Amino acid sequence: MISSPLFYLFTLALLAAVIALFEQKSRLKLFKYVPSFVFIYIVSMFLASMGVFEQNEAIDAIYKNTKQNLLPAMLFLMLLQVDIRDFFKLGKSLLIAYALALFSFAFAFIAISLIFDFNKEMASAFGALSGSWMGGVANMVAVGSALNVSQEAFGYALIVDSANYTVWIMFLLFLTPFAHKFNNFTSSHEQMAKLGLIGCACTIGAKRYWFLILLAIVVAFGVNLIASSGFVLLNYTTTTVILATVLGILGSFTRLKSINGSSEVSTTMLYMLIALIGSNALFENFSGVGLYVFAGFCILVIHALIMVIGAKIFKLDLFSIAIASLSNIGGVASASILAATYNKALVGVGVLMAIMGYIVGTFGGLAIGNILVWMAK
């Protein structure tokens, strides 16, 4: 049994590093459908369930402090690669499709919460999930922390996210050959050929990991200092999340965005956060996960119906609504794969849409999450 707080952190860091390295070196197709962070969470939860980590005051304290500082540091670095100006260079059809995807998810989450009559725990779990489906896993961690989601509820959200995402990406890839028929149905015309490759700011410049880590530590210290001084938005964690997000956006307009490496460092921090959260969850608390997964699929059905209806009204092509949908649910990697199946020159479009979700996911998830919790019985 591990009782030392430093050995506890070392074990989680080693776990995250080994699984991430295995994903990179093995190149198994399994990781295309089940991301490595899911395995990090499951193994960490397994170790906790087996009693590997002792529940003592020192470990609880370092868990809280590490999470409290890693979260704003990760959000700040993650947002340095975003360039909002490039987003508005997309064609009209893509911008409408993106807005339609956000609206459909917001509507679907609220509608399903009413249909399933969510209790507080289920509402908080799907509140965290909304952050992921409007942005990414990092947003889910941020929203879940701000909503004070329990370890069990977060585990449910992570499982639903993985299960539904796997089915959804296969479904959208399956639809690719039918794009011409769908475009005839919506009376849309291909406009993607006019769009050039839109790159990501994070691919420019030298990698200066230590500088980025130092900068992230300063930001984490600063936002926690402000939050502890009495300036509070809803709660302490929400305050740090919003401040870190704003600072990251502002930083993306400066020369900081030209420093390569922010994506790698923020991803490393995300993996550590996932391992931390998993280390406080137990297997026996996940007996009712089937209901959560079914509710997640219902959300996707409503989302899909709204997207098809919107495509018909606004004459949107299949690529526009598919990439808008997957850039929210899947993120950069999956959006790039889907875009490449239509045209390799459109990979940048998928990347840009998914990166924009880093901003939208936090604020959208906080809004939807608070509504769901407020509506819950």
For each of the chain's 377 residues, which pLDDT tens digit applies? Answer: 888 999 999 999 999 999 989 988 887 877 766 778 778 888 988 898 888 998 888 998 998 899 889 988 988 888 887 777 777 777 788 889 999 999 999 999 999 999 999 998 899 999 999 999 998 888 898 899 888 888 778 888 888 888 888 788 878 878 888 888 888 888 876 554 444 444 444 444 456 888 899 999 999 999 999 999 888 776 788 888 889 888 988 888 888 877 888 888 888 898 898 888 888 766 555 566 788 889 999 999 999 999 999 999 998 888 889 989 988 887 766 777 787 777 766 766 777 787 788 788 889 999 999 999 999 86
Neighbours of 197 (CB within 10 A): 11
pLDDT score at 192: 47
Q: What are phi and psi of 347, to 5 degrees?
A: -60, -40
Instruction: Give the position of tokens 């526009």.
Output: 320
C-alpha 36: how far from chain center? 14
pLDDT of 33-74, one tens digit each?
A: 677 877 888 898 889 888 899 888 899 899 889 988 998 898
CA distances from 255 to 77, 83, 128, 247, 260 (A): 13, 12, 32, 14, 11
Asked if 128 and 143 count as a contact pair (C-beta separation under 8 A), the reply is yes
CA distances from 184 to 35, 308, 311, 320 (A): 35, 13, 11, 14
Give the domain extent around 135.
5-375
Q: What are phi and psi of 207, to 5 degrees?
A: -90, 120
Structural domain tally of the chain?
A: 1
Instruction: Give the position of tokens 């639809």.
Output: 175
Asked if 271 and 16 count as a contact pair (C-beta separation under 8 A), the reply is yes
Q: Which residues pair with 233 in a beta bridge?
A: 235
Q: Which residues of 198-215 are buried (b: 16+ CB within 10 A; e: fewer)?
A: bebbbeeeeeeeeebbeb
Reduced to 3 states, what is the DSSP secondary structure of residue 50? coil
Using the 8-state DSSP alphabet, how is residue 288 labeled?
T
Cβ-defined contacts of 214-220 (< 8 Å, 24+): 215/76, 215/77, 215/256, 216/73, 216/74, 216/76, 216/77, 216/265, 216/269, 217/69, 217/73, 219/72, 219/73, 219/76, 219/244, 219/247, 220/69, 220/70, 220/72, 220/73, 220/76, 220/244
Asked if 278 and 41 count as a contact pair (C-beta separation under 8 A), the reply is yes
Residue (of 367, 365, 375) closest to 128 by Cα position = 365
